[in-house]
Structure 1
Amino acid sequence: MTYLDYAASSPMNKRATVAYSEVASNMYGNPSSLHDAGGQATSAVAWARKVIAQKLGVHSDGIVFTGSGTEGNILAILSLARSEKRGRHIITSMAEHTSVHAAMNTLEREGFEITRIPFTENGVVDLAFLEAAIRPDTTLISIQHVNSEIGTIQPVEKIAKLAKSFGISYHVDCVQSFCKLDVASFAKEVDAITISAHKIGGPKGCGAIYVNPFVRVVPVFPGVTHERGLRGGTLDTPSIVAMAVAIEDYQYDLQYQWQLREKLLKSLHHERFQVIEGIWTQQLPNICGICMKGVEGQFVMLKLNEQHIYISTGSACDINSASGTKAILAIGKSYQEARQFFRISFGAQTTINDIATCARVLSKL
């Protein structure tokens, strides 16, 4: 097969797979148990927490393990918003991950007012537009680092400074950028960050959030005792250790990813192909958003699937949505154009031949 859907999920790292198996087989004590078997698991979790914290450049006390990036986004946003630091107004973008919109919709039903700002034609948030949307009762901003559909990089450092100047909490979804871009450069300036294991060679069903230990939050599930009271349930020690091992091993060759992208885009020279992207300094190269004029993205995906070439029509979490992709609509494209969108994303195991094979079938189609 030719797998080109790395933004949805990546192959599990071999060393992480071994680590998962060994921990599951030999370290089955509950990390919350007080006996030695529990202590062994506790030590393993503490090591993993430290690995993640060092990668983010934050204190390990702020790391909370979750079951996914989706759960992490929802926990972080609801916990920060319900602390009611300033008021009941929240700012986000139109093109966030589905989980962010799910959290916003929940808060809206609770009486919060949500402002959803669009992207510019280059696929990024307009800082002037964002600042103009801030009100005296704005309590939270949640804007992603890298868009999962078109790969544009948002100006998170500038947003963090803006939020801090107004005393507003800021949550950043870093699921697509973690270990690929320098998250540590702004991590200490924000209040919450979401990451996921399976985007970087770790196991599915495991993620984490960083919540600033000095920021007051209201737990989504009051009364639970695990993870600083922010998330209940026995920790999945094998997945947590495997995630940390994947982080240690993960390598993102930026130059090679640009080579793959350039090979793909040069091969799609037909006038019916339209690449949806930002300027190169605001673009993660391994996520390519493309429209084929006059052809639905789902049809393109199915035709490539027949040739065992695997791409997507956007975020896997939106697979049942009939409204098109959020990023395309956020930059001002029409509903019809959004229906023509498909996404090609690649990783360390992708070869030039994989790209050539995909481009050849697309051109034939």
Structure 2
Amino acid sequence: MIYLDYAATTPMSEEALAVYVESAKTYFGNASSLHDVGTAANELLTICRKQIAQLIGGEEKGIYFTSGGTEANVLAIRSLAYAQRHKGKHIVTSSIEHASVHAVCAQLEREGFSITYVPVDRYGQVNVEALEQALTDDTILVSIQHANSEIGTIQPLKQIGELLKKKQIVFHSDCVQTFGKIPIDVKQLHVDSISIASHKIYGPKGVGAVYIHPRVPWYMSLPNTTHEGGFRPGTVNVPGIASFTTAAMEAEKKREVTQQKMSELRRYFVEQINEKQLTITVFEHPTDQLPQIIGCLVHGFEGQYVMLHCNRHGIAISTGSACQVGKQAPSKTMIAIGKEADEAKQFIRLSFGAHTTKSDVETVVSVLEQLQKERMST
């Protein structure tokens, strides 16, 4: 099977897997226990917290480990919104956020908060002027993703962060797709809070983290919670966190070389479909693009049909965010950038990773070419 769905999840690296096994054997204690076994686990947890904080230019005290990116988004947004509710109840986000962000915003709206969804341009980038116009005296929180999970457009976080810092509005960003791939410095970006996940960077599933700057207050979602400083209930997954930290440090070490490879593979894919004159539209921001995510429309075919066709030929691709699989509705991102519903249903996503080769690209292009030739001959 040729795997081209790395934006959904990645296989664990050998290093991350080895650390997980060793940590599970050696540091099996509950990090909250006061005996020596628990203390050893807590010391490892402290080291991991410090290393993750260093990777994002943050402070160790601001790291809270979670069960993944979705929980990280939900807990961060809820805890920040409720901590600021004495100042107002207005939240601003974008129309192309991950499903977890839209879900928690819908929940908060039912609880009395008001939500504004700012538009994006034809490349899927947030309009900063529209965002500024959406702010009111009642605005307490803005949540804008770092990069879109369907088409890979990178958002102007620094520009947004500078704006929100002047207005003293808390700024959260879903960085699940960008952590370990492009530089993230929370101080330079003026971001107060971010969400990250392990399984997007060759670490284990079921592990993630939230960073909230220590000066920013947050609200305890479940009263009397003791784990993670009260941020999240449940025994902390020390082996998973150690493995996540290993994967994160490994990703950072290889980041520049990896991104160069991803850019080359992307260029090659575009060259191939152009050379073969395939009726495929690739979405790409001229300057702010995460290269490993290729969102495109295969004209004349529904995305699910293309995905199943590729699967029959031993190629794994997707029709968008894995969190939306099974839903027949057209891609929200496609609708947000101005596509009609029928056209939006033609969307597929390819995403490259550590094991992707030029040969894999040639194979998927050949399969897509065959699909379109079959349609022309019928």
Specify the TM-score bucket, using the shorter chain as the normaliser.
over 0.9
Q: Kindly, what percent of the aligned residue pairs are identical?
A: 46
Structure 2 residue 340 is matched with structure 1 residue 334: yes
The residue that corresponds to 1:119 in the other structure is 120
Query: Pairwise mapping of residues 201-280 of structure 1 onto structure 2 (< 5 A)?
Result: 201-250=202-251, 251-252=254-255, 253-269=258-274, 270-279=277-286
Note if contact 1:16-1:245 (Cα within 8 Å) is conserved in structure 2: yes
Counterpart secondary structure, 1:64:
strand
- Residues 56 and 187, structure 1, Cα contact 8 Å, conserved in 2: no
Deviation at 1:122, TM superposition (A): 1.7
CA RMSD after TM alignment:
1.1
Q: Is the contact made by 2:186 and 2:192 (CA closer than 8 Å) also made in structure 1?
A: no
Amino acid at match of 1:86: K
In structure 1, runs of 5+ residues without a counterpart are none
Deviation string for 1:33-72 (max 9, x for gaps)? 1111001100111111111000011111000000010000
How far is 1:26 from its partner? 2.2
The equivalences for 1:56-71 within 5 A come to 56-71=56-71
Residues 290-345 of structure 1, C-alpha deviations (whole Å, 9 max, x = no match): 10112100000000001110000000000022222121111111111110000000
SS of the equivalent of 1:5 reads: coil
The amino acid of 1:2's aligned partner reads I
In the alignment, what sits opposite 1:153? 154
Q: State the SS of the aligned residue for 2:335.
A: helix
Determine the structure 2 residue equivalent to 1:322: 328
Asked if the contact 2:158–2:189 (Cα under 8 Å) also holds between the matched residues in 1, the reply is no
What secondary structure sits across from 1:153 in the alignment?
A: coil
Q: Which residue of 2 aligns with 1:79?
A: 79
Calculate the TM-score normalised by the size of structure 1: 0.98
> TM-score by structure 2 length?
0.94
In structure 2, relative to structure 1, the CA distance for the partners of 1:188 and 1:313 (3 Å cut) is closer
Matched residue SS, 2:209: strand
Contact 1:57–1:188 (8 Å) recurs in 2: no
Q: Which runs of 4+ in 1 moved over 3 A?
A: 185-188
Deviates more, 1:262-271 or 1:105-114: 262-271
Would the aligned equivalents of 2:58 and 2:186 in 1 still touch at CA under 8 Å? no
* SS in structure 2 at match of 1:96: coil
What is the total number of aligned residue pairs between the two structures? 364
* Aligned partner of residue 297 in structure 2, secondary structure: strand
Once residues 48 and 58 of structure 1 are traced to their aligned partners in structure 2, the CA distance between those partners, rounded to angstroms, is 13
Q: Is the 8 A contact 1:66 1:208 kept in 2?
A: yes
Secondary structure of the residue that 2:133 maps to in structure 1? helix
* 1:65-84 C-alpha deviation (Å, 9 max, x unpaired): 00010000000000011111
Residue 280 of structure 2 aligns to which amino acid in structure 1? F
Q: 1:299 to 1:168 in 2, by over 3 A?
A: same
1:349 to partner: Cα distance:
1.6
User: 1:183 — aligned with what?
Assistant: 184
Inter-partner Cα distance in structure 2 for 1:112 and 1:156: 24
Using a 3 Å threshold, how does the CA distance of structure 1 residues 215 and 188 change in structure 2: closer, same or farther?
farther
Distance in structure 1 (CA, Å) of the matches to 2:119 and 2:278 = 27
The 3 A distance-change label for structure 1 pair 31 and 185 is closer
Q: Distance in 1 between matches of 2:201 and 2:322?
A: 16
User: CA contact under 8 A between 2:143 and 2:171: conserved in structure 1?
Assistant: yes
**Residue 376 of structure 2: aligned partner:** none
- CA distance in 2 between counterparts of 1:26 and 1:128 reads 53
Letter in 2 for 1:338: A
Choose from 297, 301, 304 the match for 2:303.
Answer: 297
Shift of 1:86: 2.3
* Counterpart code for 1:195: I
Q: Which amino acid aligns with 1:16?
A: A
1:8 and 2:17 correspond: no
Cα distance in 2 for residues equivalent to 1:319 and 1:248: 31
1:346 correspondence with 2:352: yes
Cα drift, residue 186 of structure 1: 4.3
For 2:189 and 2:121, the matched residues in 1 are separated by 27
Distance in 1, matches of 2:321 and 2:132, equals 28
Q: Provide the secondary structure at the position in 1 that maps to 2:132.
A: helix
1:164 & 1:62 partners in 2: Cα distance?
18
- Structure 2 Cα separation of the partners of residues 275 and 15 of structure 1: 34
Does the aligned pair in 2 maintain the 1:157–1:186 contact within 8 Å? no
Q: SS in structure 1 opposite 2:176?
A: coil
**Which residue matches 2:374?**
none
Q: In the alignment, does 2:309 pair up with 1:308?
A: no
The answer on whether the counterparts of 2:145 and 2:175 sit within 8 Å (CA) in structure 1 is yes
Provide structure 2 residue ranges, at least 5 long, that are not aligned to the other structure.
372-378
